[in-house]
């Protein structure tokens, strides 16, 4: 964050100083909500959580080097105290799930205001460029690609993984300091108005909208409502900003009329300003294509897996070109960009020859379809086809369409000729996925329904063989990453035993 005194911070967030011997003491570091990560010059954020209350760790944080604590009540050490009625933010964060007295909301509201002021001051004084990314799927992959293509132009701050809610968003914004040139932020929503609120916290100059799918359909109610929410990003852009829109998604392309900013269309469409042609994939499902922009073209080879990454790469390229990069620099950066966030198209081959695609962080119908296509590409590439396995769990937050969407995924697995489908779970959606595969023509045990993760692991241990390719994917609440981690550990163990 931009350096501020404790008095300045208190004025910004509408708080009062308690037990502060020197109001002019400066916060020179960042803001942390984990006392174990506090460094000298930081500000500690005291949040109530499901299992503990950050206020109880205030003294520990100050001993570790925190200048003060941003809290909802006095804590016996230097603190900026905000009242429970100081403000509110959209209450979708896990941090607020046990916030009975409103103290968590007050602290988060103060954090949001501090992030807004810090970001705006950095933009005015140092030229910080804020880039916001939203979409039903692909946000994290695109954010990682953005960080890679912007890095040659200057220091970049981006969130770890998908830390994109009303805690992670301001926390990430406050990582930016006077040396930061680019701040790349994911913007997630569970309802209309959420992205608008996040955009107020760290006002973007560049906005990227990837797609409008069915993720969170149960909460939004319709695809139209999802499009309305995602479009809040381009509505928040200034007149001298840039909106990067997916020309291949009609719901996204239509957002051009909702922004004051200049619009750049990206995609495979011939009408796109920045487009890809000659798209192919190699034996690891890594895409190759020709990137066209501004009357010039350059070949691109991606290091990340899945043909769906082409659209993400085009969006990242559009941002980098806007910020001053040339096509050759963009192509080189994209070629060197690997999966930076855990459990997202993480492809590893174990020493005993089993390829594991760990895409288990989260799942929605669009991302599962993309992952299944990548699985089949990997399995069928090379001199001899390999056996493909899809270990899939339930996709959450689909509302009344849940069973239908799961049925469609089961049918798609059969149409793509996935050799073995393991559906994990006993609920109606999981049964719907298995039944969809059966009704589409799954024969014998091509599709099998197992009750839990342990049963899936036991089945794989019995039947998987060297050369097989395994995709693991489900909504994060399922915890299906345990399957992927078991397979990679087991492969390493087999290799060690063989020695």
Which residues fall in the annotated binding site for ATP? 135-141
Q: Extract the tokens encoding 323.
A: 């910020």
By CB atoms closer than 10 A (0-12, 13-18, 19+), residue 359 is buried
Q: Extract the tokens encoding 102.
A: 């409103």
b/e sequence 85-102, b meaning 16+ C-beta within 10 Å: ebbebbebbebbeebeeb
**Helix 223-230, helix 194-201: angle, nearest 10:** 10
CA distance 334 to 135: 20
Q: Extract the tokens encoding 209.
A: 């909208």
Annotated binding-site positions: 135-141
Distances (CA, A) of 51 to 57, 94, 97, 102: 13, 11, 11, 16
**For the range 257-263, what are the long-range contacts, defined as Cβ-Cβ under 8 Å and sequence gap of 24 or more?**
258/231, 258/234, 259/207, 259/234, 259/235, 261/207, 261/234, 261/237
Contact 84, 67 (CB under 8 A): no
SS3 at position 2? coil
For the chain, how big is the Rg over CA atoms in Å? 24
Of 473, 363, 365, 456, nearest to 409 (Cα)? 365
Of 391, 354, 352, nearest to 371 (Cα)? 391
By CB atoms closer than 10 A (0-12, 13-18, 19+), residue 53 is middle
Q: Extract the tokens encoding 310.
A: 């082409």
CA distance 176 to 183: 7
Contact 377, 492 (CB under 8 A): no
């Amino acid at each position: 964050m931009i350096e501020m005194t404790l008095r300045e911070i208190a004025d910004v967030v509408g708080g009062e100083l308690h037990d502060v011997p020197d109001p002019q003491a400066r916060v020179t570091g960042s803001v942390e909500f984990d006392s174990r990560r506090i460094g000298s010059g930081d500000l500690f954020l005291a949040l109530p959580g499901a299992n503990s209350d950050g206020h109880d760790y205030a003294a520990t944080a100050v001993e570790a080097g925190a200048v003060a604590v941003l809290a909802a009540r006095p804590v016996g050490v230097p603190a900026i105290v905000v009242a429970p009625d100081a403000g509110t933010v959209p209450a979708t964060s896990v941090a607020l799930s046990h916030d009975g007295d409103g103290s968590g909301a007050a602290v988060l509201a103060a954090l949001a205001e501090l992030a807004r002021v810090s970001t705006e001051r950095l933009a005015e004084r140092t030229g910080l460029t804020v880039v916001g990314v939203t979409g039903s799927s692909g946000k994290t992959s695109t954010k990682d690609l953005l960080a890679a293509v912007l890095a040659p132009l200057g220091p970049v701050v981006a969130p770890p993984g998908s830390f994109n809610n009303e805690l992670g968003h301001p926390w990430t914004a406050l990582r930016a300091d006077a040396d930061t040139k680019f701040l790349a932020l994911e913007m997630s929503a569970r309802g209309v108005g959420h992205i608008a609120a996040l955009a107020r916290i760290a006002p973007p100059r560049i906005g990227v909208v990837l797609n409008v799918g069915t993720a969170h359909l149960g909460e939004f109610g319709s695809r139209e409502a999802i499009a309305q929410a995602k479009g809040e990003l381009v509505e928040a852009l200034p007149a001298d900003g840039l909106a990067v829109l997916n020309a291949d998604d009609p719901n996204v392309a239509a957002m051009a009329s909702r922004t004051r900013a200049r619009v750049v269309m990206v995609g495979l469409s011939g009408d796109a300003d920045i487009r890809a042609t000659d798209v192919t994939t190699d034996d690891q499902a890594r895409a190759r294509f020709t990137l066209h922009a501004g009357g010039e073209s350059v070949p691109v080879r991606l290091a990340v897996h899945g043909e769906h990454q082409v659209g993400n790469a085009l969006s990242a390229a559009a941002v980098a070109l806007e910020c001053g990069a040339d096509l050759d620099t963009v192509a080189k950066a994209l070629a060197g960009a690997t999966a930076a966030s855990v459990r997202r198209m993480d492809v590893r081959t174990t020493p005993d020859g089993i390829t594991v695609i760990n895409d288990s962080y989260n799942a929605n119908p669009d991302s599962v379809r993309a992952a299944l296509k990548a699985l089949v590409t990997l399995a069928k590439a090379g001199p001899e086809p390999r056996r493909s396995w899809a270990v899939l769990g339930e996709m959450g937050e689909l509302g009344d369409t849940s069973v239908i969407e799961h049925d469609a995924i089961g049918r798609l697995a059969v149409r793509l000729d996935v050799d073995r489908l393991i559906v994990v779970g006993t609920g109606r959606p999981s049964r719907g996925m298995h039944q969809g595969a059966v009704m589409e023509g799954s024969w014998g045990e091509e599709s099998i329904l197992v009750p839990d993760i342990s049963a899936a692991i036991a089945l794989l241990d019995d039947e998987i063989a060297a050369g097989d390719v395994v995709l693991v994917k489900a909504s994060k609440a399922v915890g299906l990453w345990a399957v992927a981690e078991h397979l990679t550990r087991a492969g390493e163990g087999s290799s060690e035993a063989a020695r």
